[in-house]
Amino acid sequence: MSQRPTKRLNVEIAQLDQEVKESAKLFVFGVAISLLYLAAAACVMFVRIDDVRTMPLNAIGDSIAGGVGPLLLLWIVLGYLQQGAELKQNTRALLQQVKELEQLVGATSEQVEVERLRHKHELERGAIAALPRLAFERLHEAQAGSYFCELHNAGATASDIFIRTDDPSMIIRTPHFPALLANSHVQFQIFIEPSRESAKSIHIEYRDAVHKKRLAVFQMNLKDEDEDKRLIFFLAVDAIIEEGDRKAQA
């Protein structure tokens, strides 16, 4: 989340704090002026106490009203300014709440992002754990052009396994297996025309532990070892070709 709105709120709150402090100074100023004014009025009355005693009551009332008038006007102005200061305090409280909400939203967003990354990591780890690891072992020639192959699985269980080739010179016996458990193997036989024993490929279609259909392509080469012909397989491709059924995954 961007820090710009929070910085702007901090600036506005600082400005409001400064204005509230200035309003408090105005209140102190008003009290001081009022005390000085009353003290001055008391001194005047004390100096002219004889005149005050001889004045009619209505004249005394008019004098008091006239003397209090400037104070009244002063406090009307100060009251208006104080009301503005209270509004600014309310505004500051609202801005502080907005700031706290933004911080809460920011913390929540970070938690959501952490949870999303954790969930993504768990999915990736689960996907890796669901992968079979297919490899060929114990490949040897039984007779001319006929080879026994052993397909080994060192990963998760594979199901609905179908072994095929697009090469017309090669025939695969027992090309389908319903399942291949972890750390187990299956055997099948390959027939190759003796005159066409060159580099070939075998395609193995299967479903992994979460029922995604995958294709593994092995490149196959023929190697002579002490008059014994062996097939050497290299994994070239292993990719998803069809997403699994969600109901099946559940």
Give 58-104 pLDDT, tens digit per residue.
776 777 777 777 878 888 887 777 777 677 777 777 777 777 787 78
Domain boundary among 128, 155, 185: 128
Contacts of 182 (CB under 8 A, 6+ apart): 132, 153, 154, 155, 156, 157
pTM above 0.85, yes or no: no
Q: Which two tokens stand for residue 123?
A: 């999915």
Both 18 and 117 in a single domain? yes
Which CATH number goes with the domain that contains 149?
2.60.40
Give 100-118 pLDDT, tens digit per residue.
787 788 778 888 888 888 8
Both 11 and 73 in a single domain? yes
Higher-confidence residue: 64 or 35? Answer: 35
Residue carrying the six token digits 């949870």: 115
Q: How far is CA 117 from CA 83, 133, 146, 227, in A?
A: 51, 26, 51, 56
> Which residues form the domain of 69?
4-128
**Total structural domains within the chain:** 2
Distance of CA 13 to the CA centre of its chain: 30
Both 140 and 196 in a single domain? yes
Domain boundary among 88, 113, 128: 128
Q: Which two tokens stand for residue 30?
A: 């008003």
pLDDT at 207 over 80: yes
Give 120-130 pLDDT, tens digit per residue.
888 777 777 88
What percentage of residues in the chain have a pLDDT greater than 70? 78
pLDDT at 178 over 90: yes
